[in-house]
Each structure stands twice: as C-alpha cells, then as structure tokens.
Structure 1
C-alpha cells in the first residue's frame, strides 16, 4: 500500500527542479536526472525523484504532544481508512493548529507504512512544481510532465492519472489560505476538476483559513478546527513550562489566550526560557496587556507570530479587493472579545459612515472576515435579527495594536447609537443592556490617547445610559465601577462637559441608591453648582439633579426641607417639561411620599390615586414608576390602619414585580417585605416571620447589610418575633438595627424612631417598664421637635408612653 501526503507548506525547500525528457547517459555511464525547464526555458538545477520524495516528506519533527484533538484525529483516520470520495478541509483561524493536526495524521499514516509527501499551497508556481515532481515519482511520463509544465497538457490530469492507479494514499495541502492558488486554468478549488478531485483511491486533506463551504464545492467537507478548551490549553502550557505554576493557573492563562494553540505555544516557550522576565503563568498573565507586542510578537516567521499571522489573512483579502475588511476588524476588536457583538452594534450604516464605506462594503467585509476565521458567528439569532459575531481575544488584542482615533471613534459611535435605541426603564430591554455591558466596559479600557473628543463623548454618553439601565434593573452597585472608569477616560473633556456632569450624576445616584446618603449629598451639590453655571437652571439635566436632591432629603428624613424642595422643583418642571413628563411625575411621587410621612395620609392617598391613573395612562400599568406609585399607595393605606386593603394591593404588586422584574430585584423584595409587615398587623405573625427571613437573606446578598431596605426588613422581622412572645430575641435584633441606623441614617431619622418605639414595646413586654418609659420619653421629645406634635409617629409614641405610664398605676 502506498500513501501520498502532499502537505503544502508555507516554508519549502527550493522549488523542485522541473523535469524534462530523458537525457542520454553521461560519459561515465550514469544517467543524469531529468530536467524540467520553466516556461521561459531558464536552466534549472538537477532534481531526482529521491529529491522530490525528500522535499515532500512531512516535517513531523516539529510535531509536539497533541492535546484536545482526539475526536478530530479519529474522524480523519476513519476517512483515511475508508475514503468516501470527499476531500477534507481542516478549516480554522490562523494559529488554530490545522497544520499540527495534519502532521499528526501524516505521522500516523507513516507508521502504518504509508509514504508521505508534503507540498506548499501558498504560491502557485511552487505548488505546480511540487505536484508535477510528485507525478514523476509516481511514474508519470517525463514528456507529459514537461508538457504540463509548459502549459500544453493539463497538469492535474498528469498527477491524477498516477494517483488513481494507487490506493490508500493521503494527500494533504497545507496553508491553502488563498484558494486561488489551487486554481488550475479554469478549474477552481470548488470545481472538482483541478488539483482537488473526488476520489476513493485515497484521501485528500487541505488545511486552510477559508471556512466558507462555497469555496470548496460539494466534494469538500469542512472539518472545523476550533480553539482548545482550557484544560487542553493548560496541558500545552505545562508541557512547555512545567515549573511555571499549577494546573489551575495554567487554565486561567489558557482562557485568557482563548485556547489558541499558536498563542499557547508562544506563551509556553517564553515561560520555558531561562531568560524570561516573567517566570510564572500568573506573572505572564498580569504582563500580557501591557507587553502584548513583546510577549506575542517575537518571531521571525509571520505565520508563527500571534501579532503577525492574521495580518497575512488581511493581506490576502486586500489582494482580493476586500481591503475594507482590515478597518472593520479593528473596529470590532474594540468591543469585548469572545462576547457576542449583537446586531445592535453591527448597524451597517453606522459602521459605514464611520469608516467611509457603503453598506454593501461593510456587509462584504464582515463576510470576508468570517470566511477566513477572523470573526466567528455568535449565538443563533432570532428569526428577525441579524447574526451576532465574536472576536477571538488574541485577534482582538493584536488588532488593537493598530488602533487609531478614527477606528476607536467608529466603535464608540456604534455603541452610542445602540444604547440610544434602548430604554433604560423598560424591563423588556434589560436583557439587551446586559448583552451590551461587556462592550461598554471594553471601550472604557481603550486608552484616552487613542480617542478624539468625539469618541470620548460617545463612550461617555453610552456609559450614562448604561448606568441608568443598571439602576432600573436593580443592579444598584454596578454603576460605581463604570462611572469611575468613565471619569478617568473622559478627563480630557473637562469637568464641566455635559457628558462628564451626567456621569458624575450617575455616580451620585449609585451612592444614593446604596444608602450612602452623605456621599450622595456632597456629590449632588457639586454637580448642581456646575450645571447651574454651564447648563442653566432650566436645563433638563439641572432639573433632574434638583429632583434627586429633593429625593435625597426624603431618604434622609429631613421631611420639611424635602417638601419645600419638591415643590420648588415641581413648579419649574411643570413650566419647562410639562405636567405629564416622567420626571415631573417622579417629583410628584416624592412630594406625596413626604406628605404621607408628615402625617397627612389622606391627602397623600388621594394624590397617589391620581398619580397612579396618570402614570398608568402615560407610562403603562407595569412601568417601574407606575408600580412604585402602587407600592406607596399601599403604604398610605397601611399608615391609616387599612391593613386588609393594603395586603391585597401588596399581594398583587408582588406578583407583578416577580413577573416583570424577577425575584431578586430590590423592588420585588421590598414589596414582599411590605406585604409581610401588613401580615404581621393582621395577626399572621409566623407567616410574616417566614417571609421576612427569606426576604432578608436575599436582600443581604443583593444590597449588603447596611442598606436601608435590609435594616427595614430586620425591623419588621423583630416586630414579627416580638408579636410571637420572643421579646428578648426581638430586643437584641432591634438594638442591632438601631445601632446601624444611628450610624447610617442619623439619630433623628424617622426610621430610627420606628425601631426605638418597637424596642420600648419589647422592654415593656419583658416587664422592664421604667426602661421603656425612659426610651419613650426621649423619643417623644425628639419626634415633637423633628416631626411635630401632630405627626402620626409622634402621636403613636405619645400614646405608647401614656399606656406605659398608666400600666403602673
């Protein structure tokens, strides 16, 4: 059995000497090797069949340990054993290990007694010479070979006449990244009548970056060669650098390198060098971003260097008239690697406008990048959506080495347009925001020097929108990192740039929603001063800051100041924005909250019912703002002792928020806690305790132990425990709550007063009447001063004091 392996290498010995007609023996009786002249009849060196065989032998000496390719090898070996007429195309991005896989197959074939040939498909002339030399070694007529070399006879026919007389052979074309090299006359690679043909006499294997089935025709079968998983990648690293760290550390580095065999081998060889500056997987990983060109670019052969190998693919596309693929790849490399770049970011017009390309040129460029493996298809799209794409992390890193302001601005603009098409307050859009968030973070990692003012502003506005969406979706802490990174990146825009002020506003809201009220107050004050100077008092951003400053006063319990501030900003919003603008309605909401907290519960109830009707009509019945109004209406009913009505409202609210927001959203948890509070008042205290413990566990995970919602849930839990007669347990919980609330909210906050009132009742229930009276007297003096003598909280404390004092007579 003979085996022919024609592996077409990028690096090849001198082109095999052309073969001509037999020549007479030399004077000493030895026959000279036949010569094959070039079409220009220039002389060529002598070349024997033995030389051909040696030149085409696969370079299996470079083959190392194979990891993660067992399934692919088994498939190829099965097709080698029983060829079905199709040639196999090992297709993958540059550096994926296609040649290594082919070498492993060839080495196995040699062990089975098969002969092996190795030729290069990177250049037409050397391919022609190599394959005609192969035909000669298989017994082709030298005259026919010469005619084929001269273009008189079909060269592929000359080769295939001999191949079809053999059986069980293997023919591998390596690095066939330009399918035009495989074209012979009018026969392209896909036609099946040129170098690549359907046969059952043996097996043809081609390695190529071209992944489009259409380029290979129906006789070709694509065998994808993907990157390796982290376990296989780690084994490669540990083979090459056995002392560089643990398996887990190797896996982490392998993940960062995207499982690309070329990158793994470069990293492993570097770490295995006694002269490496980084000696461990961890230190290499830490240095990779800052020293990427050095760590991934130190090679003499462009095909074997991560920073260079994909430029060959882009050069090939440029030679085919698709040079626009290069700026497109560099634009997409600005987004997060290995994460789906959704259709929202792939707007052909936006990308085209940024790069000076027509829509069709953008489309063809994306298709070209897909065809050579520089882009991968993402998750399957919905029927009415465009496919998403992904960029390998090393492709992205290498492409970013060529970043300029024009490219970065195009990516930034695509992100700004995408975020501008979404609503931050729409629950149906929140999953899309989560898909965009990694790309927002990726663009924030671009160095400011690579961005012009337009690019910086575009990213800044995208960050503003993203932070708003995160807050609405319940991820209240997430905007902190985004805003910090964005402020650093946008520093050159100046502190009074409108986008910068809006980022600062989002940072202040992050502090406010996490309960860091003093920090939020300081930030909002500074922002408002700058906005009044640069934007003016009637600018929507200025009004929004004034609104949140009033909201902050509510949260701080400074109710008289809050009511005045709400009325002031509401007056200006009505004039500037109109009565039904969402921000105007939001200020009405907080004003009504203050009215209720100040004891005018009937007034607050009527106002909330009117606001609920308006928000339902303007925003929709399930908008977060509408449901917030529904929640506070239930609160006013509870304040008035109408607990059955309140329970019904909260029950409906919990179900709606579970469906719209999900179970872990802070607003869903808040509604559950409010319902449990009412259940306690209705006497179902064990049910209330069970619900509150579930809520508290979730809130601690989501919000942290010092958030006001957590403290409120703990307070309600203590009330439910106390109502079951476990007074000492309730006392301990209440004292812990009061201690934190005094520090976080301040001793004059009305929520601290609620906890102190509950504590006094727990003390009285334990027979510690004098302690309870002292607590109540101090609390009454405080509430009379801060809330007023007629506030419902002051009245409740006064009644409790009277009851405690009367119980001793």
Structure 2
C-alpha cells in the first residue's frame, strides 16, 4: 500500500468540513476492521497513526504545496518557422535581469506564435518553472485567466465572493513559495485597460466606451494585479507600443516584430502547403503578401482547400485582378488551433480591430492612416501628409495641423502601421496594410472623400517639371502614377487635369515623350469637357501637347494644334494678349524646325514688334523674341543680322537682369554659337568658357544647362583640332547625363554622337562606330525610326561607314535616310537637302569609278 507523506497537506475545506471527513473515515475504518483478519490489524493501526497526524489548522494560515503549473492553451505548431532575431532576443532578456519584456507588432505578424513556441521551450528546458497564459484583450478575459490560475493552484478562498481573486493570484506569485514562473500577457493592446483615466467620481473612462474600458471605482486598474518580484518574468505581446512601454517601463525591453524575411516566409509557405509547388510562383505570391505570416498561412489554407482547381498562380491572378477580389481573399477565415476561437484570423478583420481602436483612441490619427493608404507604400513624403486633416489650399490651417501631425504619426508608428526612414521626412507602410485600410474606410462609406483629398493634395504639390523641381517630381511620381489611368468623378476632374499637365511637363523634360503625350491628351480632353475648348487652361494643355509633338519631330501635328491654339487665343483673348503672343512664338518655332524660315520670320517679327510696344524694349519676353528671331536668321545663314540681335539681347540682359542671370547666360551662349558658325573659334571659346564657369557656380555642375555649355565648348575644341580636350569634356558630359538623365535620354544620345564624332576625327574608327550604332539603335527604340534625331543618327552612321570603306552599306543607309526625310521633313527641309546632296555626290563618285574601271 502507498505510504502517506508526513508533511502538512494543503486542504481546500474549512475546519467543520474536515471534521466531517475525519468522522466518515473513522466509520470506514471500523467497517474495514470487521472485514479483515486479525493479522492485518497492524496495517490499520499504521493508517490510524497517519490520520492522527492530520492537522486541523485553518487553511488560510497554512503554506501551499508548490507544484509547477503550465496552463498555455495552445500546442506547439508543427509548421513553426524559427525567427532567430526574435527568439534569441527573448532568451537573452529572459535569462537577464529584466522582469518584464514585450513583443510589439501588427496583428498577424507572428507575435503570439513565437510566444507559444517560447513558452513550450521554457517548459521543456525548465520543468520546475511555471508558465501562465493570460489573455489580456479585455478585463473579463484577464479576470477569467486569473481565476483559471487560481483553480490550477488551488488557492485558498478562491471561491469566496468577498475575496479579490486577482489580488490573490498576484500575492501568491510574489511569494518565494511560488518558485520561478513566466507569465504571458497576450494581446495587451489597450493601454487604458491597465492604466485607466479617471474623469469622474464613479467612472474611469478610457479610449473605448464598452466593458473593456469603463471601470468601477471599486476596481483596481489591471496593472495593479501584475506581480512584481524577482522570481517571475512577464512577457507582453501587444500591437501598441504605448501599451508595451507602460507595461514594461523600458523601451529597451521591447522588440518590434516585423514581417518575415524571404527565407522565413518561403519556409512557412512550404510547411503550410500540401505537395510540391512552383517556387517562382510562390516567390511572387509571397512578395504580394508582404511576407506577413498570417496572410501566408491564410493563402496556403485556401489553396490547400481548393486544390487542384486552385494553384498558386491562379490564386495570385485572382489576388491581383481587382480590389474586390483581393478583399474577398483576405477576408476569409482559415482554421488555426493556435488562435482564440472567438477571434477571426482573416487578415482584414484582424487589422480592422486595430484601426477601430485607433479611431476611438485618437480620431485624427485614423484620418492620417486613411489618407496615407492612397499613396505608394514606399517613400511617402511627410510634406504632403500635412493635408490629411486640413484644406490643402489653406496655409494657416496647415500650420495648425503640423502641430498635431507628430502625435498622430507617433500613434501609427506605435501600432507598427507606419515606419519612418532613417534619414527622416519619409514614411513607409506595408501594401497590405494600405489595402485593408482602404477596405475599412470603404465599408464606412468614406473612400470617395479620401480619394478626392489625395488627388487634390498631390495635384497641388506636384511641381511644373523644371530642373530645380526634379527631386520633388521624382519623389512624388510613384504616388501619382496610379492616378493617371483612372478618371475621377466630376468633383476631381480639374484637379486631375492640373496634375496631368504638370506631370506631362516633367515627362517632357526628362525625354519620356510617349508618356508626356498620353498625359497631355488626357488633360486636353478633360479640360475641353469641363471648361470648354476655348478656355485658357484648355488652350494651355493644347499648347503643351503641341510641344510634345514638336519634341518628337512630329511637326505637322504640332503645327495643326498650334494654329488652332493661336486662332482661339486671338478670338477669346485678343491679338496682343501675352498668351496669344506666346502661341505665335510657339508656331514660329515649329515653322523654323521645318525649315520654313520665311513663315517663322514673319511671325517672330510680329511678336517682337508687339512686345516692344506693349511690354517695352527690355522686357524679358521682348528679349526672348529678339533671340528667337536671331535664331531664325542664324538658320538662314544671315550671321551678321543674327549677331547684331544677339549682341543687343546680351547687353540688355546684362543691364536689366544681371551678368549671371540664366537668361543672360543663354544670350551669351547664343552669341557664341553664331561666332562658332562663322569659324570665329577664339571668340566663341571665350564666351563659352565664361558661360560654363558662371553656370557651374550658379546652377551647379550637373545642371542640364551646365552640361550643354560643356558640350558646346567641346565642339569648339574639336573644330580647333584640340581633340584630346574635346574628348575629356565629352566623356564627362556623357557620364553625367547617363547618371542624371538616363542612358536613353535624347540629350545623352546627343552626347554619345558628339563623342563618336571626336573619335572619328581622331581616326578611332572602331570606337566611333560602336557609339554611332548604339545611338542609332537607342534612337529607333525610344524616339521612333522617323524622329529627326534618329534620321540624324542614320546620316552620321552612313558617313562613318563611307569613310570606313563600307560603301554599299553607306549608300543603302543614306538612301533610306533621304526617303524618310523627304516624307517626314519635306523635300525642301535643309536636312533633307543635305542628305540628298551627299547621296548624289557618292553615287556620282561611284559612277565615275565604275567608268574608269570599265575603260581601264
């Protein structure tokens, strides 16, 4: 028979109950003695002695037997993927001196899963350590968990209605008899549950007006029931950094849980998915899911359930097909034995709990989250975000918002919804967080309002595309590109057209003519529909589209639009209105590019005379007209007249604008070009050096105008036979343009052609040919086979082949160039005529050689 121990027993009954039990045992003893033989009475006497040793001391005053307890409600996950950065940190904190630590991250990032694994690890490595699990999402949940602990420990008076069970558990855990323990405080997201704010004598009001957050005055805050002792550690999991900081008392005791890395995400997907799968398709899907553990698990469960009809690829196709279908997939609930039964494990629902908590806690932070959900997830500039709670056009209102912005951003960062880059001024979000935010505000019927505010804000902030604004344009472009293809509702049409106009200008300056054309067309159509075809803004959009055509060498289309703009401007604004004169100047430029010198000159003279009369002889616009007319004279070979005008423009610019004003430097460069065409190399060089030095100093070494000056000076060196100096400059220009503009920007291709010319003059045929071929191929690809710049590359390539004795190839290429130039530029265009003359000379030379060979 098993022997009874001699130590005092922990007894769950009072003295009266114990007396009754002993009396019953006495009766059992008498019955047994009657049934047993005499020689077994010694055993009964021994039992009697053990009963006599039972103390009837009140159990409230007696020590409790210390039995290790493990009440984690979840088993280990057989598919668990270790995340060493988290588990190593947990282990180091647990074995260190801290008594509290926390994992903070968004719902679905894997905090609880890592914690479950860690709890089982501690239980396995240290069986004498008790592990307690407390669900802390609400006060009732917290109380339920503590009562469960009291039951497991069989704490005295736990069923007494007059006893505070929460305090009973806390006090026991703070005793040495409790031994070492680890408490998991899971889902402690609401700081007000633990530290409520009292605003009246009978209520404690917190962020949410429900059972979780309104406490009676006779209730202690939950934080008061968390034990403080050396023999125990509390591990908190929370979505809220604020809650984690309050509960741990130290930012150093908190670890942010982010998404999985590529390898971890792939391993989790492999563990969850049945059978083999396409690794490349899986990688694409994981990227789309942002490597978020809950999203990965949910996707794998969906694919498993519907296989083989659903594959990874088909799931991804559905995911990307539309927001509606993406929302449907993310809103599905997949079974998970390691999540609470009453809590949905769909991504959408999991995160909407957080969104609602933020909305109650700080409504303005929820507004910021809603606004940010319409940006690209990466690289969100803070200066645009100030519009989230203000009228973008009201500067005074924006100043007030700036004061609260930091607090709102801090809330979102605390919930791991938003991060800030190390350099500052730029925010980032997960794409799925943005999508679920939009899903949330759409369900509330607010998506249209936020979408309209986003459009109004970015249209206001996107600059006009001048070089100085390029950094901002580059920063904002990824955020506005999705807007290009989706025409908004009527209320946002003019904001959309304004945004398209500025984006088109930027695209034009960086040489992306195709996109510039597409955006300009949409702006024209929108403004025509809303404002009318002759509204000034509509005419501006038409002029921008014509400029895009002009840069593509589509002179006829540009001319048609510019004529229409000019006629409308005359009719609606008047013949001498500044916009009308600008339209005339634009049309003159198109005529000049077609070699229609007479038509260009007539318009430019008319514009110049009108501007002199209405603006004055030294007004910047008047000086621009003089420079344009000089350019027409220059193209006609009328050097003297061009020079006289350019000298006059330069002197006036120096006097009225200053010697280093950009317009003054442009005038110097134009005059240098006129000297260059007359073979006056020294005078050209002096001006070009002066312009280059001034532009470096005032604009910077990588400004497009500075690079143009370097290219012009290199050309002057080349014509003086100073080929090494020319090459050095041209290489520098080419490298800078590749880096700042891109390898296929028209200006970059021009630099390549110039360097090829220098190589050709040095007899470096191979290097020259490689560059010319590259220029021609890039021009065909980016500008089109019939663009004037492409035709110029064909012309140069043909000459290079001719000089390199590839006569047949050269003749064939030049013939092609002649045919296309005649069709595109016209038979009388100077470039057409130059190629016709060149081909004729070659063919005559070939004919003479053939005759000599035959006669010889």
TM-score range, shorter chain: 0.7 to 0.9
Q: How does 1:216-365 map to 2 (within 5 A)?
A: 216=247, 218-219=249-250, 221-241=253-273, 246-275=278-307, 279-281=311-313, 284=316, 287-288=319-320, 290=322, 291-299=325-333, 303-320=344-361, 322-347=362-387, 350=390, 359=401, 364-365=407-408
Contact 2:465 2:505 in 1 (8 A): yes
2:190 counterpart (167, 178, 192): 178
- 1:468 maps to what in 2? 505
| CA deviation map 1:54-74 (0-9, x unaligned) | 8x424134563325x211110
- 1:133 maps to what in 2? 148
- Inter-CA distance 88–704: structure 2 relative to 1 (3 Å threshold): closer
Q: Using the TM superposition, give the Cα deviation of residue 176 of structure 1 relative to its aligned residue in structure 2, in angstroms.
A: 1.3
- 1:780 maps to what in 2? none
Contact 1:134 1:159 in 2 (8 A): no
Report the Cα distance in structure 2 between the residues aligned to 1:129 and 1:93, rounded to whole angstroms: 25
- Inter-CA distance 177–705: structure 2 relative to 1 (3 Å threshold): closer
Report the Cα distance in structure 2 between the residues aligned to 1:171 and 1:696, rounded to whole angstroms: 65
State whether structure 2 residue 474 is matched by structure 1 residue 434. Answer: yes
Report the Cα distance in structure 2 between the residues aligned to 1:243 and 1:654, rounded to whole angstroms: 67
TM-score, with normalisation over the residues of structure 1? Answer: 0.73
2:233 counterpart (197, 203, 211): 203
State whether structure 2 residue 493 is matched by structure 1 residue 456. Answer: yes
Q: Using the TM superposition, give the Cα deviation of residue 467 of structure 1 relative to its aligned residue in structure 2, in angstroms.
A: 3.4
Secondary structure of 2:101's match? strand
Report the Cα distance in structure 2 between the residues aligned to 1:240 and 1:366, rounded to whole angstroms: 36
Secondary structure of 1:79's match? helix
Report the Cα distance in structure 1 between the residues aligned to 2:230 and 2:193, rounded to whole angstroms: 24
Q: How does 1:368-517 map to 2 (within 5 A)?
A: 368-381=411-424, 387-401=425-439, 402=442, 404-419=447-462, 424-425=465-466, 427=468, 429-444=469-484, 447-448=486-487, 451-472=488-509, 479=516, 483=520, 493=530, 496=533, 502=540, 505-517=543-555
Report the Cα distance in structure 1 between the residues aligned to 2:328 and 2:526, rounded to whole angstroms: 25
Contact 2:371 2:388 in 1 (8 A): no
TM-align CA RMSD: 5.6
TM-score, with normalisation over the residues of structure 2? Answer: 0.69
Secondary structure of 1:259's match? coil
Report the Cα distance in structure 1 between the residues aligned to 2:294 and 2:574, rounded to whole angstroms: 57
Q: Which has the higher mean CA deviation after the structures are superposed, 612-621 or 120-129?
A: 612-621
Q: Using the TM superposition, give the Cα deviation of residue 100 of structure 1 relative to its aligned residue in structure 2, in angstroms.
A: 1.8
Identify, as 1 or 2, the structure richer in helix. 2
Report the Cα distance in structure 1 between the residues aligned to 2:78 and 2:609, rounded to whole angstroms: 78
Higher normalized contact order (CA 8 Å, seq sep 6+, divided by chain length): 1
| CA deviation map 1:415-441 (0-9, x unaligned) | 23323xx564352x3222221222222
- Inter-CA distance 316–565: structure 2 relative to 1 (3 Å threshold): same
Larger Rg: 2
Secondary structure of 1:66's match? coil
Secondary structure of 1:271's match? helix
Equivalences, count: 731
Q: Using the TM superposition, give the Cα deviation of residue 225 of structure 1 relative to its aligned residue in structure 2, in angstroms.
A: 0.9
| CA deviation map 1:588-623 (0-9, x unaligned) | 443332222222334434544554566678888777
Q: Using the TM superposition, give the Cα deviation of residue 746 of structure 1 relative to its aligned residue in structure 2, in angstroms.
A: 6.8
Contact 1:299 1:305 in 2 (8 A): yes
| CA deviation map 1:501-558 (0-9, x unaligned) | 6555545444433555455445555666777777776776665555443333333333
Q: Using the TM superposition, give the Cα deviation of residue 88 of structure 1 relative to its aligned residue in structure 2, in angstroms.
A: 1.5
Contact 1:650 1:674 in 2 (8 A): yes
State whether structure 2 residue 677 is matched by structure 1 residue 639. Answer: yes
Report the Cα distance in structure 2 between the residues aligned to 1:281 and 1:626, rounded to whole angstroms: 61
Q: Using the TM superposition, give the Cα deviation of residue 78 of structure 1 relative to its aligned residue in structure 2, in angstroms.
A: 1.5
- 2:134 maps to what in 1? 119
Report the Cα distance in structure 1 between the residues aligned to 2:432 and 2:636, rounded to whole angstroms: 60
Report the Cα distance in structure 2 between the residues aligned to 1:434 and 1:742, rounded to whole angstroms: 25
State whether structure 2 residue 720 is matched by structure 1 residue 682. Answer: yes
Report the Cα distance in structure 2 between the residues aligned to 1:675 and 1:122, rounded to whole angstroms: 73
Q: Using the TM superposition, give the Cα deviation of residue 178 of structure 1 relative to its aligned residue in structure 2, in angstroms.
A: 1.0
- 1:549 maps to what in 2? 587
Report the Cα distance in structure 1 between the residues aligned to 2:736 and 2:329, rounded to whole angstroms: 45
- Inter-CA distance 149–362: structure 2 relative to 1 (3 Å threshold): same
Unpaired segments ≥5 residues, structure 1: 1-18, 31-48, 382-386, 767-773, 775-782
Q: Using the TM superposition, give the Cα deviation of residue 122 of structure 1 relative to its aligned residue in structure 2, in angstroms.
A: 1.1
Secondary structure of 1:337's match? coil
| CA deviation map 1:314-333 (0-9, x unaligned) | 2223333x334434322221
Report the Cα distance in structure 2 between the residues aligned to 1:494 and 1:460, rounded to whole angstroms: 11
Report the Cα distance in structure 1 between the residues aligned to 2:295 and 2:277, rounded to whole angstroms: 18
